Structure 1
Amino acid sequence: MQTRRKIMLWLVPVGLILLFLFVGVLPRIRNQQELQAAVEKEKNRIVQVNTTIASRSDATSNLTLPGQIQPLRETPIYARTQGFLRKRLVDIGSQVKKGQLLATLDAPELDQDIIRAQTDVKLAKANLDRVESVSLPGAVSQQDVDNRQALYEMNQANLRRIEVLKGLQEIRAPFNGVITSRNTEQGSLISVGNTIPLFTISQLDTLRVYTDVPQSYYRYIQVGQTVEVRVPEFPGKVFSGKVVRTAEALRSQSRTLLTEVVIPNSTRELVSGLYGQVNFQLSQAEPPVVIPANTLWITPEGPQVMLVKDDNTLQVQRVEISRDFGTTLEIGSGLQGGERLVVNPSDNLQQGQKVQPRAPANAKMASANASH
């Protein structure tokens, strides 16, 4: 009886232990095994990725830059002599020809200076003639003759100087153009050295456009190159122009090349000061690689893309972006063109990982068109 009781006492703990194993430990072990199997399955599973092809852009591309339209020539006109403005013959908007009289000055004291200079010339001439008329040898020294001759020539030079100043009282146009500013009124006192010009004249039958070409494109700009200029105020209209010169040096701050474009404006449709868009057609010996923006992968190491190699494994490739067009990117370095790129790469993808690429949509369309 006691032996049976001892056996029962041993069987109860053993049963509890077995029950604990079946209820607690074995299911946990089974769950761990299933989880590990799922991890291994996920690890060995080949991920499908969407791909696209990195392609090169066309050999000829367009570069559009903002430009400032200015007159071909623009000159402020100042007075070179002092006086009162007696008459003003033009105003803003006046069309003038080269040499046309714009205004006249009045300087009464200058008229008196001319009369005095003329009198001095006559007196010096009379004195010179008097000594030259003496026929008695030795009566007049040669030095006296030379002094009177020099005085006569000096008075002549002074008269010519004053007459030139008199001529400067007439303000004339230096070239054909339009008066674009006028800063004086009739009766105003005009002083030599005044920093405010009387008029500003601009040549508007031909205009120049200045624009700054970025450093990455300066080598494609050539003198004589034809460009197109568009102005928002003339929608749909294109003004043809030519590159006439460049600065031959980049600005140190903006790293741009100042470029001058000349456009004809015989109809005077355009006016100075307009804002325009200058379109250059660039011929590139090696067109840049262009990729969709959704293939770019931004990492702490910089911009990268994921390439799908021939064996369908992934390779991380660092790239340098030249220009951002929004939906597409121009790549400066890192790609040669023709590579398969992963679309919308995620952090779950790793270097060397095996993937199953899906053909890009353009490749499917190309094969469909070829079958037809």
Structure 2
Amino acid sequence: MHLIHRSVYTLLSGAVLLASCHQKQAPAAAEKQAPAPPAVLETVAAISDNPTYTLTLPGELLPYEQVLVYPKVKGFIKKLYADRGSKVKKGQLLAVLEAPELNQQFLSAQSDERKLYENYLYSKQAYQRLQKAAAKTGAVAAIELDKAYTQLRADSAAYNTAGANKGVVAQLQGYLRITAPFDGTIVARNFSEGALVGDNATKNGALFAIAQQTHLRLTVAIPEKHAQSLHPNTMITFTVSDRPGKIFTSALSRNSGLLQTDSRSVMAEFDVDNKDGALNGGEYAQVKLTLRRPEPTIWVPASSVVRAQSGVFILRKDPDGIKRIPVIEGIKKDTLQEVFGEVTADQQIIKKGSEEIHEKQ
């Protein structure tokens, strides 16, 4: 009997101990199930700035002037005075053509001019004599004087026409001498002496191709979103593959000012002095431009910009919550991103944007 009472006491003591442990663990479990406090979203202020930035684009070096020299008249090449690679000066004789028919045309025009000049002199003398005779009343009828004056004018016009025709033929004879239109280098010679050229005599009628290599044009297509950043003093540096390690410089000379619809870009030209012959012309170049917006723009941390299927946006913190602001990206400079949209300087922007951050959070 004493043993039974001891067993009951032991069971009751264990039950009390378990209940006590359960009561102590209950608050801990309750603490684990409590909701976590909301995460703090770090914000930064959007800034307005107008920094310079660099842009690397491909370019093409072209001769400052380049032309194909065609013969004006049809003829045979009598003599060539220049060949591929020749350095020529403006007005220098490059070739002489011969066209015997032009000589005959000139002689014929000269003969016509002399004949009509004689007619003009006779009409002039006849009119002057009638004028003197008409000084006496009734000696010459008025109609006769008018006829003489009309004949004088007709012969004068015919003589002037003959002189003009002779001048045209003489001018054509001058075209038999082919001269250089500017200082440059002969980059192509297409015919040899004795060839018939001019007046569509051959498929490729150009005698020479001349390029100016002491002065070059570097053309660069500026993308649409950077076109307004060009200014009159825009500076560039560029390199070419055939002169590794050599850096060239230039400044903006001109730009088209018109957006090309096919490439959505503006063509800019930079004049390059090449008197030392360091560049050949015709090379492709890697161009680094220093640009600047015409007015300040808005900049935010690059991490603030969210690129999602729904579009590109940033998250702005307003007094009534968080709002998604659609933006268009501009350029990136270091850790900052240029944006265009409904955002102004000093507005608070979520520093690390994410699609998981909902509006009015």
TM-score normalised to structure 1 length: 0.68
Q: Which moved more, 1:193-202 or 1:75-84?
A: 193-202
Return the match for 2:67 from 64, 69, 75. Answer: 75
Aligned partners of 1:65 and 1:211 also within 8 Å: yes
1:242 partner SS: strand
Question: What aligned pairs does 1:1-372 form with structure 2 within 5 A after superposition?
Answer: 40-41=33-34, 43-44=35-36, 59-129=51-121, 141-192=148-199, 196-284=205-293, 285-286=295-296, 288-289=298-299, 291-292=301-302, 296-304=305-313, 318-323=326-331, 329-333=337-341, 336=345, 341=350, 345=354, 347=356
Q: Which moved more, 1:231-240 or 1:72-81?
A: 231-240
Deviation at 1:133, TM superposition (A): 6.2
Distance 2:332 2:97 in 1: 60
Deviation at 1:48, TM superposition (A): 8.6
Equivalent in the alignment of 1:11: none
Deviation at 1:351, TM superposition (A): 5.6
Aligned partners of 2:234 and 2:291 also within 8 Å: no
Distance 2:124 2:267 in 1: 68
Q: How many residues align?
A: 315
Distance 1:119 1:145 in 2: 20
Deviation at 1:146, TM superposition (A): 4.1
Deviations 1:286-339 (A, max 9, x none): 25525346x6544343234567999xx987665432246898754334585796
- Which runs of 5 or more structure 2 residues have no equivalent in the other structure? 1-28, 131-139
Q: Which moved more, 1:121-130 or 1:76-85?
A: 121-130
Deviation at 1:149, TM superposition (A): 3.6
Question: In the superposition, relative to structure 1, how do residues 320 and 118 fare at CA in structure 2: closer, same or farther (>3 Å)?
Answer: closer
Deviations 1:149-189 (A, max 9, x none): 44333322222211111001111111111222333332222
Equivalent in the alignment of 1:5: none
Distance 2:226 2:115 in 1: 73
Distance 2:314 2:268 in 1: 36
Aligned partners of 1:63 and 1:281 also within 8 Å: yes
Give the partner amino acid of 1:160: G
1:166 partner SS: helix
Distance 1:61 1:292 in 2: 16
Deviation at 1:238, TM superposition (A): 2.6
2:258 partner SS: strand
Q: CA RMSD in A?
A: 4.0
1:267 partner SS: coil
The percent identity for this pair of structures is 26
Deviations 1:251-282 (A, max 9, x none): 23443222222121111222222111333222
Question: In the superposition, relative to structure 1, how do residues 61 and 132 fare at CA in structure 2: closer, same or farther (>3 Å)?
Answer: closer
Distance 2:124 2:349 in 1: 106
Deviation at 1:108, TM superposition (A): 0.8
Give the partner amino acid of 1:291: P
Deviations 1:178-212 (A, max 9, x none): 22233333222223357642222222222112222
Deviations 1:217-243 (A, max 9, x none): 222212343332332333333322222
1:155 partner SS: helix
2:84 partner SS: coil
Distance 1:49 1:104 in 2: 84
Question: In the superposition, relative to structure 1, how do residues 338 and 180 fare at CA in structure 2: closer, same or farther (>3 Å)?
Answer: farther
Distance 2:317 2:125 in 1: 112
Equivalent in the alignment of 2:26: none
Aligned partners of 1:57 and 1:290 also within 8 Å: no
Give the partner amino acid of 2:96: T
- Which runs of 5 or more structure 1 residues have no equivalent in the other structure? 1-33, 354-372
Aligned partners of 1:52 and 1:343 also within 8 Å: no
Deviation at 1:88, TM superposition (A): 2.0
Deviations 1:136-158 (A, max 9, x none): 75899444444444433332222
Distance 1:49 1:145 in 2: 104
